[in-house]
Amino acid sequence: MKLGRRVEEFAITAIDRDGLPYGPFEGGKLYVDKSLPGDIADVQAIRVSKGDFPVSTGRIVRLLQASPDRIDPFCPHFEHCGGCQWQHTSYAHQLEIKHGQVSELFARHLPDGMTVPPVLPSPQQLRYRNKIVFTFSNRRWMTPEEKTSPDTIRRPAAGFLMRGKYDHTLEIHECALIDPIAVRILHRLRDIALEAGMKFYDMREEYGFLRGLALRFGDPGHLLAAIITAEQDDEKLNVLTEGLTRDFPEITGYFQLFNPDKSGVNMDAPARHLRGETQLPMSLGGFQFLVSPNAFFQTNTEQTLRLYQTALDFAALKGSERVLDLYCGTGTISLFLARQAAFVTGVEFVDAAVNDARTNANRNGITNVDFIAGDLKDEISRFTESSTEVIDVVVTDPPRAGHHREVNQALLKLAPKRIVYISCNPITQERDTHMLSDRYRLTRIQPVDMFPHTGHVENVVLLERRD
């Protein structure tokens, strides 16, 4: 396969575990962006690989026969934006695909006669995100036609990073996954910055002031804005915040995230408070949480309640159990667990998140919970060595990378009766399930759709100790 080669009448036949459509080609696979199984198209190779099992990527240049599952996408940026890669098929079909992914991944762990239940659908398929991160770049992404046109205006851009192109930003005019005010704020910040002569960041050359904008929506009437910069310049920050404050009274708090690293927009950068609210109030399931601008909180608020209810159901708490909540973040799951357990200990490696968790417990009058900032494997080992603090149930919700091997080893030594494993990446979740399988068996499983129109699916499994 050569770069730019055109493959005619190519049939897309399947979707892989990552939600990427492909077809067999010359002893390997050819992935085709924005396609569906059942499509037949002329395809041009845009990335190629070699070897005994070559894997290449192409784009549709002419659709000859559309899949029966194909529909018209609702977003004008669909062809180029990598955000919602499945909006060209119905929501019902998206759920079928995600169900198939989880079923295939966990087939070897399912007891005889057990099947994966249908994916829990999101109540909202549009405007469901409570958080969005935009990028600014002095390199606007352009189509091949724009690049060759003498009329093309080469200007800075505000929008989303292009998938696979770390140094270019796709200029956007709308996004159906977030409140419409978000894009209006983005455009106004862009205009204020350009009018003041500020430079957008250049990832290649590593210069420029403005890198990004993170918006986080809380309870009605609460919105935090975090301006992401590559330089420290209070005068410029004041120009930006003054302009937004004047035009958008809806923004109730401002922060700066200082990120000079070349690696990209880093939401873990320290948040510096500029004006207004210091934390965002978020209500969920009868609790009121306060969330810092860069602390973790599930992005789909309404569906989060169904996710946590599933985890609570799997935990099957009777009121006498001691629970260990790993990767507890700001304590959201911990407080739900504390309603039904004797005591809950939340463990998190981010100090700021633990501070938020303690604040949230106090705010909600929850006293049978404690939060620890530290290395997870070390804290698990501490409970293993304790003769007085026996852990009955572990709830874990790790990042996409899943458990570190040493965390799995520590869990095997701790040997709780039940492990409830929540994951935003079923691939690493299945890996960890296999690593624990000598001591634990999977008895329940439930996929949950937290991100409609994307290839991502959340999954909850219950692992019970083999006694």
What confidence tens digit (pLDDT) does each residue in 109-142 have?
999 999 999 999 999 999 999 999 999 999 888 7
For residue 150, pLDDT beyond 80: no
Residue 272 has pLDDT above 80, yes or no: yes
Which pLDDT band, with edges at 50, 70 and 90, does 162 fall under?
confident
CA nearest neighbour of 35 among 53, 61, 17 = 61
Closest C-alpha to 311, from 443, 445, 433: 445
The predicted structure's pLDDT at residue 309: 98
Residue 71's CB is within 10 A of a number of other CB atoms, namely 14
pLDDT band at 3 (very low <50, low <70, confident <90, very high): confident
Q: What is the pLDDT of residues 166-203, one digit of tens each?
A: 788 999 999 999 999 999 999 999 999 999 999 999 98
Angle formed by the axes of helices 234-247 and 181-195, nearest 10°: 140
* Residue 371: pLDDT over 80: yes
- Supply the pLDDT for residue 387: 62
The reported pTM is 0.92
Any idea which of 11-25, 38-52, 207-221 has the lowest mean pLDDT?
38-52
| Alpha carbons 239 and 195: distance in angstroms, whole number | 10
> What are the tokens at 285?
């399931």
- What's the rounded Cα separation, in Å, for the pair 216 and 180? 13
* CA gap 43, 5 in Å, rounded: 8
**Measured distance CA(30)–CA(6) in Å, rounded:** 12
Give alpha helix (H) positions in 210-363: 234-247, 301-315, 332-338, 351-363
**Percent of the chain topping pLDDT 70:** 95
Cross-strand partners of 284:
287
Sheet holding 21-25, edge to edge: 6-11, 40-47, 55-65, 28-33, 21-25, 14-15
What pLDDT band is residue 362 in, cutting at 50, 70 and 90? very high
Distance CA 421, CA 429 (A): 8
| Alpha-carbon gap, residue 19 to 34, rounded angstroms | 11
Q: Residue 377: its pLDDT value, please? A: 84
User: Which residue from 178, 182, 174 is spatially nearest to 76, judged by alpha carbons?
Assistant: 174
Q: Supply φ then ψ for residue 381, to 5 degrees.
A: -60, -35
Asked if residue 267 has pLDDT above 70, the reply is no
pLDDT (0 to 100) of residue 419: 99
- Closest CA relative to residue 341, chosen from 286, 418, 397: 418
Tokens of 334: 């911990």
pLDDT above 90 for 373: yes
Q: Mean of the per-residue pLDDT values for the chain?
A: 92
pLDDT at 16 over 80: yes
Domains in the chain with CATH codes: 6-70 (2.40.50.140), 95-124+297-465 (3.40.50.150), 131-278 (2.40.50.1070)
CA–CA distance from 339 to each of 262, 321, 333 (Å)? Answer: 44, 11, 10
The structure tokens listed for 122 are 């999101």
- Predicted local confidence at residue 258, as pLDDT: 94
First to last CA, the chain: 53
Is 424 one of the catalytic residues?
A: yes
212 has pLDDT over 90:
yes
Mean pLDDT across 401-430? 96
Write down the residue that tokens 């200029």 correspond to.
Answer: 171
Please report where in the chains the tokens 């897309």 appear, as a residue: 12
Q: So what's the pLDDT on residue 288?
A: 96
pLDDT of residue 132: 96
Distance CA 23, CA 16 (A): 10
Q: Is the dihedral of CA 268, 272, 273, 274 positive or negative?
A: negative
Rounded Cα gap, residues 212 and 230, in angstroms:
9
| pLDDT at 151 (0 to 100) | 60
Specify the pLDDT at position 5. Answer: 86
